[in-house]
Structure 1
Amino acid sequence: MPRGLRGRTVAAALALVATSGCTGGSDASPGVQPTPSASSSGSPATPDPWPGTTAVPGDPAHAVSPPGPLRDPLLPADLLVYSQQPLSPRTVARVARLPGVGATEQLSLAQVGIENRVITVAAVDPATYRRFTPVTSARLRPVWTRVAEGEVAITPWLGRRLADPGGVLRLGNDSDAPGVHVGALAPQIPRVDAVVNERWGEDLGMRMGNALLVSTGRLVAPQRVRPAIERIVGDQASVQILGPDLDTSVRQTAFLTGGSVAQSVGTFSYVVLDHGRIAPDPAWVAANIRTEEVPILGRVTCHRVMLPQLRAALTEVVMDGLAGAIHPDEYAGCYYPRYIAGTTQLSLHSFGIALDLNVPGNRRGTVGEIDRRVVAIFKKWGFAWGGDWAWTDPMHFEMNALVQPR
Structure 2
Amino acid sequence: MRLRRTRSTAATAPRPAAALGGALVVAAVLGCSAPASEVRDEGGPDEAATSASGGSTPGGEVTTAPSLDPAYAVDPPGRFKSLPRTADIVVQTQETIDEDTLAAIEALDGVAAIERLSLLQVSIENRVLDVAAVDPATYRRYAPRELPQNQAIWDRVAAGELAVGKAVAKRLPLDDDDFVALTSEVPPIHLGVKAPQITNAVDAVVNEKWGEALGATPGNALLISTGLTAPDAVVKPLAKLLPKDTSIERLDAVARFGLDPEAYQQATVVGTFAEAVGSFSYRVLQGGRIDPDPTWISTHISTQDVPILGSVTCNNAIFPQLRAALQDIIDADLADEINPDEYAGCYYPRFIAGSTTLSNHSFGTALDLNVPGNLRGTVGEMDRVVVSIFKKWGFAWGGDWSYTDPMHFEMARIVRPG
**CA shift in 2, pair 1:375/1:171, >3 Å:** same
- 1:76 corresponds in structure 2 to 86
Deviation of 1:37 after TM superposition, in Å, equals 2.1
- 1:228 corresponds in structure 2 to 237
- 1:171 corresponds in structure 2 to 182
Q: TM-score, normalised by structure 2?
A: 0.85
The answer to whether residue 190 in structure 2 is matched with residue 181 in structure 1 is yes
Deviation of 1:161 after TM superposition, in Å, equals 2.1
1:56-71 maps to which residues of 2 (within 5 A)?
56-71=66-81
Deviations 1:168-198 (A, max 9, x none): 12213xx445421112111121210000011
- 1:361 corresponds in structure 2 to 373
- 1:38 corresponds in structure 2 to 46
The answer to whether residue 98 in structure 2 is matched with residue 88 in structure 1 is yes
The DSSP-based 3-state class of the residue aligned with 1:344 is coil
**CA shift in 2, pair 1:138/1:228, >3 Å:** same
* Cα separation, 2, equivalents of 1:63 and 1:315: 46
The answer to whether residue 171 in structure 2 is matched with residue 158 in structure 1 is no
* Cα separation, 1, equivalents of 2:313 and 2:32: 41
- 2:400 corresponds in structure 1 to 388
* Cα separation, 1, equivalents of 2:377 and 2:272: 29
* Cα separation, 2, equivalents of 1:321 and 1:113: 33
Give the RMSD, CA atoms, in angstroms: 2.8
**CA shift in 2, pair 1:237/1:320, >3 Å:** same
Deviation of 1:31 after TM superposition, in Å, equals 7.8
Is the 8 Å Cα contact of residues 14 and 48 (structure 1) preserved in structure 2? no
* Cα separation, 2, equivalents of 1:159 and 1:346: 17
Is the 8 Å Cα contact of residues 349 and 362 (structure 2) preserved in structure 1? yes
Is the 8 Å Cα contact of residues 23 and 160 (structure 2) preserved in structure 1? no
The answer to whether residue 264 in structure 2 is matched with residue 256 in structure 1 is no
The answer to whether residue 205 in structure 2 is matched with residue 192 in structure 1 is no
Is the 8 Å Cα contact of residues 38 and 56 (structure 1) preserved in structure 2? no
Is the 8 Å Cα contact of residues 14 and 183 (structure 1) preserved in structure 2? no
* Cα separation, 2, equivalents of 1:312 and 1:56: 42
- The one-letter code sitting in structure 2 at the alignment partner of 1:148 is A
Deviation of 1:119 after TM superposition, in Å, equals 0.7
**CA shift in 2, pair 1:166/1:335, >3 Å:** same
Deviation of 1:15 after TM superposition, in Å, equals 11
**CA shift in 2, pair 1:143/1:163, >3 Å:** farther
- 2:15 corresponds in structure 1 to none
- 1:377 corresponds in structure 2 to 389
- Structure 2 unpaired stretches of 5+: 1-21
- Aligned positions, number: 384
**CA shift in 2, pair 1:33/1:310, >3 Å:** closer
Deviations 1:7-45 (A, max 9, x none): x9999x999996589xxxxxxx77869995235444567
Is the 8 Å Cα contact of residues 30 and 198 (structure 2) preserved in structure 1? no
1:341-356 maps to which residues of 2 (within 5 A)?
341-356=353-368
- Structure 1 unpaired stretches of 5+: 1-7, 22-28
